[in-house]
Amino acid sequence: METTRRAMMAGALMAATAATLPQPAGQSLGNVARRRGIAFGTAMSRRAVAQDPAYASLVASQSTIMVPENELKWYAIRPDPTTIDYSAADDLLDWAEENRLAIRGHNLLWQVERRIPEWQKSFDFGPDPKRTARQMMVEHIERTCRRYASRIQSWDVVNEAIDPADGSLRTTSFSKAFGDSGEMVDLAFHLAKENLPASTELVYNDFMNWEPSNEKHRAGVLRLLEGFRKRNVPVHALGIQGHLGGGGTTGNTSGVGGFGAHDERAWRDFLDAVTAMNYRLLITEFDVNDRFAVAPVAERDAQIAAYAKAFLDVSLSYPQLHSVLLWGMSDNHTWLRGSGSGPRADGLPKRPCPYDDRLQPKPLREALIDALAAAPLRS
């Protein structure tokens, strides 16, 4: 029955994405990136594939890789203590493979209290909570890794374990039951290694960047990465989310084009330190939050493009950076218009993506093209 259901769903998704839309003149983002040895793509959802065939076609035409937006997160797979449901992830991976896209996994452990399943926050872990929590995590990671071992080439094993406020290791209801957040994070990577092919990339993923007030966050991530190496934890790469602009301030003039303050020297120092520890790099969730950009739409789009290109030019100058993924290809498919961020003061919709609501290219697309084309060739 499961095989039949998946075959029927895959056929429906293929029919949906058969609808095409006029593509912008010029090369696809994916092809430009591929010529430099870089994978390019975006997060994607099963709902977008099923309900917006034009968008699905755009994503497929511009990408060489994709990552499920929510479908592999713990709360999606395990909505309650007894349910285990991989159907949404299965359907989305089927669509990616039908469109010849490589696949990243996101994520096996999200170390943020508000992001763990609601049931986990009040779960009775019994008289030996550490044993129960450990068994729960082992079961989840083993089952998920083994299910997709041949289909997913890179995993965000642990997501956002560092508190940006002070650089400390976060705790959650789940890690409190486990008893030691650091031990739990290490175990997640060891479990992933044991249950995935040796070629699978194991990634620590976080949202530190080059903007003001990120100093403690960057320092905390460096301490975590240093600890992994000292303890021989199997971590291959740092995932840089690349959510830019959210910390900007109205009227800032120290950033590119008057939008988005940043510290390039500190960012280079951070990347130098990461790569010196022999970690690879990925940009995993790129977008530019224009909440604080004060300008007419056309000027705002230009500022976003300039700011993005400045960040990408620096980051892509490191040959260890091999993948760039967006967190939404068009403005009508961005998390930043939902609960992910506050509204703009003028009430206008945010425009953080390279395509607009009508799937037309914006200056950010050209900035991506230019930055990718100028990147050093990866071997």
Interval 61-94: pLDDT, tens:
999 999 999 999 999 999 999 999 999 999 999 9
What HEC string does 181-204 produce?
Answer: HHHHHHHHHHHHHHHCCCCCEEEE
Provide the pLDDT for residue 20: 40
Provide the pLDDT for residue 143: 98
Provide the pLDDT for residue 103: 98
Q: Is 359 left (phi over 0), alpha (psi -120 to 50) or beta?
A: left
Provide the pLDDT for residue 342: 84
One DSSP character per residue, 236-275 reads -EEEE--EESTT--TT--SSBTTB----HHHHHHHHHHHH
Residue segments in the chain with a per-residue pLDDT below the cut of 50: 1-25, 248-258
Greatest CA separation for the chain = 64
- Which of helix, strand or coil describes residue 62? helix
Tell me the C-alpha to C-alpha distance, in Å, between residue 281 and each of 39, 141, 186, 311: 12, 23, 19, 14
Q: Residue 97's CB: how many other CB atoms inside 10 A?
A: 13
N-terminal to C-terminal alpha carbon distance within the chain: 45
Q: Give the up-direction half-sphere exposure of residue 8: CA atoms within 13 A in the CB hemisphere.
A: 6
Distance between CA atoms of residues 371 and 120, nearest Å: 42
Tell me the C-alpha to C-alpha distance, in Å, between residue 228 and each of 178, 200, 225, 338: 19, 18, 5, 35
Provide the pLDDT for residue 247: 61
Strand spans (E) along the chain: 39-44, 65-68, 102-110, 154-159, 201-206, 237-240, 243-244, 280-288, 321-326
Which CATH fold topology does 2-374 show? TIM Barrel (3.20.20)
Tokens for 104? 């990243």
Q: Which residues pair with 361 in a beta bridge?
A: 355
Distance between CA atoms of residues 186 and 164, nearest Å: 20
Closest listed residue to residue 291, CA positions, set 360, 341, 327, 339: 341
Q: Which residues contact 349 (CB under 8 A, 6 or more apart)?
A: 331, 337, 357
